[in-house]
Amino acid sequence: MGYKTLYEALPFLKNVDKDRQEQFKTYFKTAPLWLLDSFQIMEMEAGTIFVRENMPVENIFFIGSGTIEAVDYRFFGITYEFMRFDKVYAMGGMEFIMDLDTYRTTLRTVTRCIVVKIPKNIFERWMRSDIYALKHEAKCVGEYLFEDCRKSRELLFLQGPSRLAMLFKERFERYAKNGVLKGRGSRQDLSNATGLCVKTINRAVRKFSEDGLITKEGHQIYIDRQQYENLKALIESAEQDR
């Protein structure tokens, strides 16, 4: 193929937001041409599982567009979504850094995604020959582990509705546009993301709506800036009471 630039190797980059373009440019700043030639671009529909826990690490994946989530199926028979990714991380990079042969989590697309796949042996060859790339990947892994630990500490002391409030708060901070978060709010999805049963989710959503913490229109849930601030206050109050 003989690609000479990142944009030639990844033509979809021209159509994604500037932040993600910059993240790709930073991650692959020193990428050699033979690495660009190894890129495989895949399109995946929402709900696609493309990495399964305990399967051998054969490829490294980067999310070109869309959002994915890390899923754990071992929590008392329920699905628990414990992390969402919409930035440029090497999925499989942590396993490389930690010298692990199998994936440590299951990954599933939340939205329709464009995914870049690199064979593990080629990714390792690059990392072992480029100190900048290796240090950047180690930094990304550290950021992921720090965020995962932070979220785990926060959820550890939050119960019931406060967990849902935390989820809404985090999604507002990441996905709100023009001061408003809009989402379909499937009860099962909210259950999966918080570890709460659907019955508890239903009660909490109804109570939040009655208290003006969220706005419901059919299956849609809206949260504006003032509602976001009120959710933050609810969480802070719950943390002080623990």
pLDDT digits (tens, 9 = 90+) for 167-211: 888 878 877 888 888 876 678 778 777 778 888 888 899 899 999
- At 10, give phi and psi (nearest 5°): -125, 75
Location of each CATH 2.60.120.10 domain in the chain:
6-155
- Of 117-126, 154-163, 176-185, which range is least confident? 154-163
| Neighbour order of strands in the sheet with 215-217 | 180-183, 220-224, 215-217
User: Taking the C-alpha atoms of 163, 164, 165 and 167 in order, what is their torsion angle to the nearest 10 degrees?
Assistant: 90
Average the pLDDT over each of 17-26, 149-158, 226-235 and give the range with the smallest value: 149-158
Q: Quick one: pLDDT band at residue 213, thresholds 50, 70, 90?
A: very high
- Domain 157-241: which topology? Arc Repressor Mutant, subunit A (1.10.10)
SS3 of residue 44 by DSSP: strand
Burial class (CB in 10 A: 0-12, 13-18, 19+), 186: middle
The architecture of the domain spanning 6-155 is Sandwich (2.60)
Neighbouring residues of 186: CB distance < 8 A, sequence distance ≥ 6: 219
Phi, psi of 111 (to 5 degrees): -120, 175
Paired with 65 in beta bridges are 114
Tens digits of per-residue pLDDT, 223-232? 999 998 999 8
Higher pLDDT pick, 153 / 114: 114
DSSP state of 80: E
Name the helix (H) or strand (E) containing 192: helix 187-194
**What tokens appear for 115 in the block?**
């995914």
